[in-house]
Structure 1
């Protein structure tokens, strides 16, 4: 039996020309399209094709057609994302989706919201952006930023929690995965004091984040215990998959920055969500639309 994989293409609007180019490219290389499942959901349009060939073969073919790599001045072409998804992932009886939190599950960076209360938002934002680009060691950057929060009243945590906004489609994505019998977790370089109540509200299976030091009702400017850096994010992905009895090839990891590189690389499908270049270049799939539930389209979960 010939191997197959799924080619998924999506954009903010239908593309009458690019799918034809894709079909022509596949046929010229001797690959057959076995099935097509078009989708039209909020904020995007696309289709998922099952195609003969290995993941490696198909990625080599479609990579030049992907809008991220296509040499075109046409913004419509550049907006088209084409991903190759392993068929064993799409057909897995149980999947584990692990997501970053700041700028992925939620729209904001929590540490910047806290820093606004401490009067050091610009300084913290500058360090955060450098860390997400991969220019700074994450653990070092975290300690530098958290130190600037020393002395903040603990009541600020609740104020920040109250203004957090989920990314568009996040709630729908989680609900669809859970309804299909799959598992969803989040791992964050942010803070458990913010994340844990949100994870409980969303019914997530697991959540892991840094623990802010607090004494006498004030932030100490430190974090307790293990720093959740890029290596630890991968550790948690593997640990949760093992705990659930899920093969690593049946996992999905999604994030936006350099701190997500290890878990995105280790997962069965690594997704870059409106990501920095370092992660966009390394991920198996990219989403450049402001809808997190496109992840469901990638693996056939409505």
Structure 2
């Protein structure tokens, strides 16, 4: 009979393989069974009893393993594979912040980056921050969007995550507080079923400094999550969400598995399921996938 919980360990591959001593420490903390290898040297599952009063919690486990640059997720065994994926774009599916990179090329990078930091850390509400940043772009040539796109880099594991979930009948959506100009292209590159963002208004080849249509912010991200689960006929616990900033918190908190991915400090204080070292491949290991099951082409 399988145990009702599992501790999944995932190593940051750039820092080296998952060390046996890290696995042994984790197993002792949760009084777990023998590890099940999901990817040699990268990820294991440790079946274990559910947490009880006085037993090691995820904060303790994470702190113990931090020197090894190992992520730890303590999850229920039942229902691990999710039917829905809703992902943030900037600093999650792609490595950078497209609005900040756009501003850099247009000569207002420092001002925009400062507003971005305040927003992502929860110091400034998302809608106000976005309006202020877009206003700084007024009159700038829209042709620079192509230059930014040339430098956009997918985060390691982005295509594997999306394509693997789609292969196993998952519905995938890219939902971003960034611009649809980029979400459409990133979604096509990764294979997302749907994509949503904010529409940057462009007239006569120049950015007007305004948005066309309503702002897609934190509540709208959660709304898309709820819509997708309703359309699929599943409950929120069947969904996986991932993101790094304050505007992702509502959807991270609402999903059955919300993963704070290399997230800002204020996000990590609220969301206990975290990926702080590993790549997006960790999202598949968290669902019990073996590396051999990943779609890699």
TM-score normalised by length of structure 2: 0.88
In structure 2, the partner of 1:10 is: 10
Q: Give the drift of 1:86.
A: 2.8
CA distance 1:254–1:59, change in 2 (3 Å): farther
> 2:88 touches 2:174 (CA, 8 Å); kept in 1?
yes
* Residue 147 (str. 1) matches residue 144 (str. 2): no
Q: Give the drift of 1:290.
A: 5.2
> 1:241 touches 1:247 (CA, 8 Å); kept in 2?
yes
Alignment coverage as a number of residue pairs: 286
CA distance 1:296–1:138, change in 2 (3 Å): same
Q: Give the drift of 1:177.
A: 1.4
RMSD: 2.4
The equivalent position to 1:48 in structure 2, one of 26, 45, 48, is: 45
The equivalent position to 1:205 in structure 2, one of 164, 181, 193, is: 193
**SS at 1:275's partner residue?**
coil
Structure 1, unaligned runs of 5 or more: none
CA distance 1:39–1:139, change in 2 (3 Å): same
CA distance 1:2–1:197, change in 2 (3 Å): closer
In structure 2, the partner of 1:26 is: 30
CA distance 1:106–1:297, change in 2 (3 Å): same
**SS at 2:176's partner residue?**
strand
* Residue 132 (str. 1) matches residue 127 (str. 2): no
Q: Give the drift of 1:156.
A: 1.8
Deviations 1:139-161 (A, max 9, x none): 10000000011112222222222
In structure 2, the partner of 1:160 is: 148
In structure 2, the partner of 1:194 is: 182
In structure 2, the partner of 1:171 is: 159
* Residue 65 (str. 1) matches residue 60 (str. 2): yes
**SS at 1:88's partner residue?**
coil
In structure 2, the partner of 1:97 is: 85
Residues of 1 paired with 2:54 and 2:261: CA distance?
A: 19
Residues of 1 paired with 2:187 and 2:53: CA distance?
A: 36
The equivalent position to 1:75 in structure 2, one of 67, 71, 77, is: 67
CA distance 1:2–1:167, change in 2 (3 Å): closer
> 1:112 touches 1:125 (CA, 8 Å); kept in 2?
yes
**SS at 2:286's partner residue?**
helix
